[in-house]
Amino acid sequence: TIIPLFVVVNKLGLVNTYLGLIIAVIANPFNIFLFRQFFVTIPKEIEEAALIDGANKIQIFFKIVLPLSKSICATVAILTFIAQWNDFLWPVLMISDTKKYPLQVALNML
């Protein structure tokens, strides 16, 4: 997955930028799958009850679904932080400026 991801980031012109490092984290398929599986478990009756009470789809998402999904957001944030903290290969490929190196790469260059 690194080569296609690098090609996408390169075409966006984000090589050697912090945003290029962050996009790889956001586009992680595991996180998308985890969120999807969580949202599937939310009962449809809750959404139907909100529709009957007069809420629209945006209100249902922000006032019901989003507060229910705090646990999955925290889980994904922790897993992503740990994975990126230990990541070495992606920053080495993306960053060529030594001032922009993350901690793992900078320690290796010592």
Mean pLDDT for 50-65 is 95
Q: What is the pLDDT of residues 11-24, one digit of tens each?
A: 999 999 999 888 88
Residue 75 has a CB neighbour count (10 Å cut-off) of 15
Tokens of 25: 């984290």
DSSP alpha helices (H): ranges in the chain? 2-11, 18-26, 29-41, 44-52, 57-60, 66-68, 70-85, 89-94, 103-109
> CA-to-CA distance for 54 and 59, rounded, in angstroms?
10
DSSP-based three-state secondary structure for 54: coil
Q: What is the pLDDT of residues 59-106, one digit of tens each?
A: 999 999 999 999 999 999 999 888 888 888 889 999 988 888 888 888
> CA-to-CA distance for 46 and 86, rounded, in angstroms?
39
Domain architecture of the chain: domains with CATH? 2-109 (1.10.3720.10)
Query: pTM for the full model?
Result: 0.75
